[in-house]
Amino acid sequence: MPLKKVEFTKEKVTLPDGRYLLYYNFNSIPQSHIPAPTQSDQTNEAKEKANV
């Protein structure tokens, strides 16, 4: 699944005729939108793996 993290907020408003309405607002970060690792990130990761 391409999701890294999903959070939502819920905002309740009252419509003119008295009914409620809920806005669900999402803060989702699709993995495809997460920047690909840079060369220095990869180097750091390699170093960590090598326990350098």
Encoded one letter per residue, x for contact with another protein by CB under 8 A and - for no contact, window 1-40 reads: xxx--x-x-x--x-x-x-xxxxxxxx-x-x-x--------
To another protein, the closest distance from the beta carbon of 49 in angstroms equals 25
- For 1-52, where are the alpha helices, taking DSSP H only? 39-49
The radius of gyration of the chain's CA atoms, rounded to the nearest angstrom, is 21
Give the residue with the Cβ less far from another protein, 8 or 44.
8
To another protein, the closest distance from the beta carbon of 40 in angstroms equals 29
Is 5 within 8 Å of 15 (Cβ atoms)?
no
